[in-house]
Each structure stands twice: as C-alpha cells, then as structure tokens.
Amino acid sequence: MKELTLSDGRTIENVGGAADYLCSLTEEQRGQNHWKVAIRMLNVALKEPTYLRAATMSLQTAVILEGTLASAHALDSH
C-alpha cells in the first residue's frame, strides 16, 4: 500500500492503518458512496491480496473526495 499523508499530519502506511482509519469514520461518512467503496475494497483485499491495488486506489479516491489528502502528489507514482 502506498503511504498517504493526510492534511492533519497523520499517515496511512499499511493495510492495518487503512483499516484503523476506516474504522474511525463517522456513521455519516460511512454512508457516503466513496467511503462505502473504499471499505468494500479493503474487505475484498483482506480476503484476496491481488485486490490490494484496487483497495489502495479506492482509499486514495475517498480521501481526495473528502478533501483530507495532504497532497495529490501521493498519486503521481501510480
């Protein structure tokens, strides 16, 4: 998983960090489609690691749509 730096200074460095971050979302956030997709894709990747790239991209997309990515440069290497 590509490290993501959030606008509040936190980083998401691995699958465990992504899971922790997704667990910290409010119910309202979890109801938004971009978070639903990110959560679903992480669950799939936990069962089938070949989906890790798709899960990473879904998380990146959700963080961007939420406006909490520190810099879009995290996407440049994909």
Beta-strand (E) ranges in 1-78? 4-5, 11-12
User: For residues 56 and 50, is the Cβ–Cβ distance under 8 A?
Assistant: no
User: For residues 58 and 41, is the Cβ–Cβ distance under 8 A?
Assistant: yes
Q: How far apart are CA 45 and CA 77, in angstroms?
A: 20
Domain-by-domain residue ranges, the chain? Answer: 4-75
Q: Would the pLDDT of 3 be above 70?
A: yes
Per-residue model confidence (pLDDT) at position 45: 95
pTM of the model: 0.84
pLDDT tier at 72, thresholds 50, 70, 90: low
- Encode pLDDT of 12-57 as tens digits: 999 999 999 999 999 999 999 999 999 999 999 999 999 999 999 9
